[in-house]
Structure 1
Amino acid sequence: MSTRCVRQDALADLADIPATSRWVRNGDVRLHVLDYGGSGVPLVVLPGITSPAITMDFVARELRDLVRPVVVDVRGRGLSDSGETYSLQDYASDTLAVLDGLPGIGTDPLLLGHSMGARIAAVAATLRPLRGTVLVDPPMSGPGRGPYPTTLAAFLGQLAEAQRGTDADEVARAWPRWPRREQELRARWLSSCDPEAIRATHEGFEAEDFFDTWPSVPTPATLMYGADSPVVTAEGAEEAAKTNPGASMTEIPDAGHMVFWDNPPAALSLLRECLGAMT
């Protein structure tokens, strides 16, 4: 069994989050979500490969007047169970379980995914009707394409630091542009990630082609990407625009792959515009 650890000081962070912990089951896997409540259109948020739900709190907080954010601890992260497998179909099945099993989500929610979460959102959007889908900097690596720019060794090295006991200063060496609070949350929560989930997901970045799904994602759909992202390059953005011409493309200035962390004001402003057009 893979080693996972949720630190006590990480659990204490939940006291400062304006959200309610809720649980949904997909077969044997229990999934934890942070529900920010409100009467707006539900927005289900799927974070990236090493991002438990709480690390998206600063995004969810800025959207509460517009939508009802519901942020998922993807299987193998945060407080959700680990799984036997971690394919895109597994993750999409979990997402459907949240959409269909969480009270008040309704028949036409919005879906937002960042990085790994964007890949999951793309698959889920082809499996059931949605009000709209926003994909943020989805990995465009895959068979016959370039590799994902962050190596598996780098991810596992960061996880090993977290399991050993890291702090915000050490996180800042890898992510110097991030707001201090986000560096602190990553330091406390990264050890909750299952190394097998990270390993299998990273392998999927190489084995599962985003462009097998993207052309079938229904509109309204928006693909947001960092102007300086090594994950969605200019060539990748051009291919995405051509292969799903009904979708909108939005470039976020002065941002790499971690768009919300790199340039929060611009990324959140553009996201609000996008969601406002869908609600």
Structure 2
Amino acid sequence: MTGKLLYGANLFANDIRQHYLRYGGKGHPVILIPGITSPAVTWGFVAERLAERYDVYVTDVRGRGLSSTGPDLDYGLNSMAEDVIAFAQALNLDSPALLGHSMGARIAIRASASGRASFSRIALIDPPVSGPGRRPYPSKLPWYVDSIRLSVKGIDAEGMRTFCPTWTDEQLKLRAEWLHTCYEPAIVTAFEDFHKDDIFADLPKLARPAMLMVAGRGGVIEPVDEDEVRSLCPTIEIVRVPNAGHMIPWDDFEGFFGALGDFLSR
């Protein structure tokens, strides 16, 4: 079994072009849904490790990477969740697991809670827990918008270091290369929806095994949030990666996989 990239491809599902990267090709299927400004290619280093055990499909969420983009699309959470459902159905994937990071975790929750597709289990990696009446998401919108606008003009890894000072040179080069594919209105909509759409309401609807992975240094999920999540979804497994910020595998690659363990195939 190999964890290497097999190919990139496009399919038409939920009335848009969805681009994805496939790794490994053997084992239980896993759909990896990246976060708000992370095209699929930026998760390749994680997908390669996952693909040693699983058949991994990393998606470009609409408005990012090589998937459909532009002013005529709806960039709300419901549409992104429908994309995942349609993606799994178009490829005839048999009860795939979902692994979503940040915004991607919120997409995974909404897709699974809809009950419209059979997902075997979902791993939620440090999802934003902001929403109506809740504390705001710790990152600020200008951080995203300013870096995207610079990338549209052309920015190198050193320029990107201002925004991501702890990242490696390789990670910075990849972000500098691909960030311009993140359509600014899509990012603004997603960020605003972090505060408008209360994902907690979906948690009691999760009928499959779920894991919540918390970044110990991320500041996104606090102990009080963990308590509320557990009260709404008593069967959820909560794990922490103490030395990682919000971009958990970037900060602590082995810690991420140690916390994930065999959850996706258990």
Query: Shorter-normalised TM-score: what interval?
Result: over 0.9
How far residue 170 of structure 1 moved from its aligned partner, in angstroms, is 2.1
Q: Which runs of 4+ in 1 moved over 6 A?
A: none
2:19 corresponds in structure 1 to: 32
Query: Is 1:167–1:184's contact at 8 Å kept on the other side of the alignment?
Result: yes
For the residue of structure 1 that corresponds to 2:122, the secondary structure is strand
Task: Tell me the amino acid that sits aligned with residue 17 of structure 2.
Answer: R
Report if the CA contact (8 A) 1:219-1:247 is conserved: no
Aligned to 2:57: 70
Q: How far off its partner does 1:28 sit?
A: 3.2
Contact 2:14/2:83 (8 A) holds in 1: no
Deviations 1:31-52 (A, max 9, x none): 1010114221000010000000
Match of 2:87 among 98, 116, 123: 98
The equivalent residue for 2:218 is: 229
Query: Is the CA contact 2:212–2:236 (under 8 Å) kept in the aligned structure 1?
Result: yes
* Aligned match for 2:31, one of 41, 44, 50: 44
SS at match of 1:74: coil
**Which residue does the alignment assign to 1:243?**
232
> What is the alpha-carbon distance in structure 2 between the residues aligned to residue 132 and residue 209 of structure 1?
21
Q: How does 1:121-200 map to 2 (within 5 A)?
A: 121-126=108-113, 127=115, 128-200=117-189
TM-score (norm 2): 0.93
Q: Indicate conservation of the 8 Å contact 2:127/2:220, yes or no.
A: yes
Give 1:276 shift. Answer: 4.3
Q: Which runs of 5+ in 2 are unaligned?
A: none
Contact 1:59 1:268 survives alignment (8 Å): no
Question: Paired residues, what number?
Answer: 259
Moved more, 49-58 or 146-155: 146-155
The equivalent residue for 2:202 is 213
User: What are the Cα deviations for residues 7-37 of structure 1, in whole angstroms up to 9, with x where unaligned?
Assistant: xxxxxxxxxx723112221343101010114
1:120 counterpart residue number: 107
Cα separation, 2, equivalents of 1:137 and 1:27: 27
For the 8 Å contact 1:229–1:256, the answer to whether it is kept is yes
Q: Which 5+ residue runs of structure 1 have no aligned equivalent?
A: 1-16
Q: 3-state SS of the aligned residue for 1:162?
A: helix
Paired letter, 1:57: G
